[in-house]
Copies of this chain bind each other. A is one copy, B any other.
Amino acid sequence: MTKTLRVNSDRMLDSFNQLALIGASAGGGVNRPTFSEAHLVARKWFREEAERSGLEFRIDGAGNHSAFLASAGRVASPQFGGAYRDQTLLLGSHLDSVPDGGRFDGALGVVAALEVLRTVKENGIRLSVNLEAMDFTDEEGTLVGLLGSAAIAGHLSQKDLQSPRGGRENLVEGMKRASLSDESMMSAKRPKESLAGYLELHIEQGKRLERANIDIGIVSAIVGIGSYRLSFIGRADHAGTATMEDRLDASLGASAFTLAARELVMKDFPNCVVNVGKMNFAPGAFNIVPARVDAALEFRSPDEERFNQLDAALITLAKTEATRFGLELKIEFLGRHSPTPMADIVQRAYADACDGLGLTHMPLTSGAGHDAQSLADLCPVGMIFVPSVDGASHSPREFTKWEACVNGANVLLNAALKMAANS
- A residues sitting closer than 8 Å to B (CB atoms) are 98-100, 105, 140-141, 165, 204-207, 223, 225, 227, 235-246, 249, 251-252, 254-256, 258-259, 262, 265-266, 273-279, 281, 283-291, 296-298, 300, 334, 366-369, 388, 391-395, 397
Q: Hey, which chain B residues are within 8 Å of A235, CB to CB?
A: 392, 395, 397
5 contacts between A and B (CB under 8 A): A207-B246, A235-B395, A239-B277, A252-B259, A277-B284
Do residues A238 and B367 form an inter-chain contact, with CB atoms below 8 A? Answer: yes
If A242-B393, A252-B262, A281-B277 touch, whether A288 touches B206 (CB-CB below 8 Å) is no
Contact status of A98 and B244, CB under 8 A, knowing A255-B254, A393-B237: no
Give the nearest-CB partner of A229 in chain B: B286
Contact B236 A394 (CB under 8 A): yes
The dominant DSSP class at the A interface is loop
Which residues of chain B have C-beta atoms less than 8 A from A245's C-beta?
266
Q: Which of B99, B258, B287 contacts A141 (CB 8 A)?
A: B287
Interface centre among A204, A240, A255 (most CB of B within 10 A): A240
Q: B283, B391, B394: which contacts A287 (Cβ < 8 A)?
A: B394
Choice from B206, B286, B289, B397 contacting A243 with Cβ under 8 Å: B206
Q: Are A225 and B240 in contact (CB under 8 A)?
A: yes
**Cβ of B276 and Cβ of A251 under 8 Å apart?**
yes
* Chain B residues whose CB sits within 8 angstroms of the CB of A286 once the complex forms: 141, 165, 227, 275, 277-278, 296-298, 334
* 15 further interface pairs, Cβ-Cβ under 8 Å (given A207-B243, A241-B388, A286-B296): A99-B283, A100-B283, A205-B242, A227-B286, A235-B395, A238-B395, A239-B277, A240-B369, A244-B265, A246-B391, A252-B262, A254-B255, A277-B285, A277-B289, A278-B281
Q: Within the oligomer, what is the number of copies of this chain?
A: 2
5 cross-chain pairs, A with B, having the tightest CB-CB distances, nearest first: A205-B241, A255-B255, A239-B275, A238-B393, A240-B367
Q: Are B258 and A252 interface neighbours, CB within 8 A? A: yes
Please name all residues of chain B whose beta carbon is closer than 8 Å to the beta carbon of A265 when the two chains form the complex.
Answer: 244
Closest-by-CB residue of B relative to A370 is B240
Contact, CB under 8 Å: B368 / A241: yes
Report B-chain residues with C-beta under 8 Å of the C-beta of A367.
Answer: 238, 240-242
Q: Which of B105, B205, B278 contacts A284 (CB 8 A)?
A: B278
**Given the complex of chains A and B, what is the CA–CA distance between A287 and B300 in angstroms?**
10
B residues near A238, Cβ cutoff 8 Å: 105, 205-206, 367-368, 393-395
Asked whether A242 lies within 8 Å of B277 as measured between CB atoms, the reply is no
| Complex Cα–Cα for A239 and B244 (A) | 34
Enumerate chain B residues within 8 angstroms of A281, measured Cβ to Cβ.
277-279
Bound: A334/B367 CA distance, A: 41
Contacting residues, chain B, for A252 (C-beta < 8 A): 258-259, 262
- Shortest CB–CB separation between residue A31 and chain B, in angstroms? 10
The answer to whether B206 and A242 have CB atoms under 8 Å apart is yes
**Given A237-B395, A286-B141, A259 and B262 contact (CB-CB distance below 8 Å):** no
State whether B392 touches A273 (Cβ < 8 A): no
8 Å CB contact of A395 from B236, B284, B394: B236
Contact of A278 among B100, B266, B285 (CB under 8 A): B285
Distance from A131 Cβ to chain B, minimum over Cβ atoms (Å)? 28
Which residues of chain B come closer than 8 Å to A206, judged between CB atoms? Answer: 238, 241-243
